[in-house]
Structure 1
Amino acid sequence: MGLDVSDELLSTFVPIAVYWVYSGVYVLLSSLDNYRLHPRGDEDKKNIVSKYTVVKGVLVQQAMQIAISLILFTVIEGGKAETHPQPPLHVIIMQFMVAMFVLDTWQYFMHRYMHMNKFLYKHIHSNHHRLIVPYAYGALYNHPLEGLLLDTVGGVLSFLISGMTPRTSIFFFSFATIKSINDHCGLWLPGNPLNLLFDNNSAYHDVHHQLYGNKYNFSQPFFVVWDRVLGTYMPYTLEERKEGGLEARPIKD
């Protein structure tokens, strides 16, 4: 007898599995010093939170996501796992684009507000910025309240507004997870399609994690539209460091 797992459960747990597997790939690739955006020792030298604490924080956030996801699907389905027919491919593509826009919009304005509000930054968002040198599995390291407001609520809104099915959401949230990890990986790998297709990439977000970029480059996880429209875009150039590797440096007017 085969194991029948609902799309709702897959949508809940597959992105979490993707998070740790894809992060693990970047951990293995972190030995490629020529493609690092920071020297190897800077993770331990500049970051003010231990990797053990980061892992615990991510697991807490993922536990919250699991609980809210299961509650949401229970409310929507009335406690019954139903089969939802998949719409045509062009509709699925449109739903993806709508979900990406909704998630980008929600996260830009929430993220920016958490920087502008001194109380929220000090007590909530500064947790994430303890990682001055980002790395892959720290992508979801946040204060639990920020994880709830920024990621979980943003994900729920993108799912509901786009009208995607639970099966489509498996792929959307897995892709969003991959994109967020890529933006925090601390590497600029040649030929990486995510860096080539999206202006919002590992170098772009690395600028935001530095002191000089703290009030810029708020957009995440997909596009940079809101930064450009609202004047918070900080251009940068990738330059080679003398000791090897790359560095994203701001372009000054």
Structure 2
Amino acid sequence: MMGFAISDEFLGTFVPILVYWVYSGFYVCLGSVDRYRLHSRIDEAEKNLVSKYTVVKGVLLQQTVQAIVSVLLFKITGSDTDASNSQGSSLLLLARQFIIAMLVLDTWQYFIHRYMHHNKFLYKHIHSQHHRLVVPYAFGALYNHPLEGLLLDTIGGALSFLFSAMSPRTAIFFFSFATIKTVDDHCGLWLPGNPFHIFFSNNTAYHDVHHQLYGTKYNFSQPFFVMWDRILGTHLSYSLVGRVGGGFETRPTKECKDE
């Protein structure tokens, strides 16, 4: 009986999309537990300027564009299954490709993201759409203007794929990991023992600062490291303070000034 083979290119395109909704669903379930939240459910309902239905539509649109670009990218670069299998046997090579891809993605996103804040036209007409979520939640991680989604996430992902020279099979794992990290950064929950909070300074609370009015000119780095914020003076440290009724809130540890 003939088996049904699914290509690495297909998996590299659609597995990260599936991971996005499954992992987001996990956080949606936990969001009802107030002691983990960085913002109250009342704040989420009152401060956010867009409905969850609109957010879902926006994310699905961005993921559609990403899937199209991904398919085209795999076709242009081509693939060699035997080469992919032999590369996959080298853990050192995989680690190097992951690190290069992470650094490329972080560098691209930092400078484009920061420019979208400092250019008043781009912020007003493009990037402000993402900041309609003053209180971020998991499945709103990729809620952006379509042009921002293409420029920041889709092109950034393509560059990290090309510069790291990873195979389609490696891309399945890298972009699934990047998707989980991005969702985690926007989940609005501070969970005990969360490995992303332990191993990454760029975490849920760090990015939550950026979504608050006092922090919009700080903490541009995403999704992995904070090096560019530290190097270029846009790093804003914070403290987590217990909230009456359960949960936490983020507060800056220095006075913030508009630039």
Q: Same fold (TM over 0.5)?
A: yes
* SS of match in other structure, 2:50: coil
User: Which residue of structure 1 lines up, in the alignment, with residue 236 of structure 2?
Assistant: 234
Q: In the aligned structure 2, how far is the partner of 1:252 from the partner of 1:66?
A: 42
Q: TM-score, length-normalised on structure 2?
A: 0.95
* SS of match in other structure, 1:73: helix
User: Which residue of structure 2 lines up, in the alignment, with residue 85 of structure 1?
Assistant: 85
User: Which residue of structure 2 lines up, in the alignment, with residue 146 of structure 1?
Assistant: 148
2:64 matches 1:63: yes
Alpha carbons of 1:86 and 1:103: their partners in 2 closer, same or farther (altered >3 Å)? farther
Contact 1:234 1:250 in 2 (8 A): yes
* SS of match in other structure, 2:196: helix
Contact 1:23 1:137 in 2 (8 A): yes
User: Which residue of structure 1 lines up, in the alignment, with residue 77 of structure 2?
Assistant: 76
Superposed displacement of residue 60, structure 1? 0.2
User: Which residue of structure 1 lines up, in the alignment, with residue 15 of structure 2?
Assistant: 14
Superposed displacement of residue 243, structure 1? 2.6
Contact 1:217 1:232 in 2 (8 A): yes
Q: In the aligned structure 2, how far is the partner of 1:49 from the partner of 1:127?
A: 9
Q: In the aligned structure 2, how far is the partner of 1:243 from the partner of 1:29?
A: 17
Unpaired stretches in structure 2, ≥5 consecutive residues: none
Displacement over 4 Å in runs of 4+? none
Using the TM superposition, name which of 52-61 and 38-47 deviates more.
Answer: 38-47
User: Which residue of structure 1 lines up, in the alignment, with residue 134 of structure 2?
Assistant: 132
Alpha carbons of 1:236 and 1:158: their partners in 2 closer, same or farther (altered >3 Å)? same
Q: Which amino acid in the other structure matches residue 51 of structure 2? A: S
Contact 1:86 1:165 in 2 (8 A): no
Superposed displacement of residue 31, structure 1? 1.2
Q: TM-score, length-normalised on structure 1?
A: 0.97
User: Which residue of structure 2 lines up, in the alignment, with residue 188 of structure 1?
Assistant: 190
CA deviations on 1:129-149 (whole Å, 9 max, x unpaired) are 000000000000000000000
User: Which residue of structure 2 lines up, in the alignment, with residue 156 of structure 1?
Assistant: 158
Superposed displacement of residue 86, structure 1? 3.7
* SS of match in other structure, 1:248: strand
Q: In the aligned structure 2, how far is the partner of 1:250 from the partner of 1:16?
A: 34
Q: In the aligned structure 2, how far is the partner of 1:122 from the partner of 1:146?
A: 12
Q: In the aligned structure 2, how far is the partner of 1:184 from the partner of 1:86?
A: 36
Identity %: 69
Match among 89, 108, 123 for residue 110 of structure 2: 108
User: Which residue of structure 2 lines up, in the alignment, with residue 165 of structure 1?
Assistant: 167
User: Which residue of structure 2 lines up, in the alignment, with residue 43 of structure 1?
Assistant: 44
Superposed displacement of residue 49, structure 1? 0.3
Aligned residues: 250
Q: In the aligned structure 2, how far is the partner of 1:86 from the partner of 1:121?
A: 45
Unpaired stretches in structure 1, ≥5 consecutive residues: none
CA deviations on 1:179-222 (whole Å, 9 max, x unpaired) are 00000000000000011100000000000000000000000000
> Aligned runs of 1:199-210 on 2, under 5 Å?
199-210=201-212
Q: In the aligned structure 2, how far is the partner of 1:163 from the partner of 1:82?
A: 13
Q: In the aligned structure 2, how far is the partner of 1:86 from the partner of 1:247?
A: 48
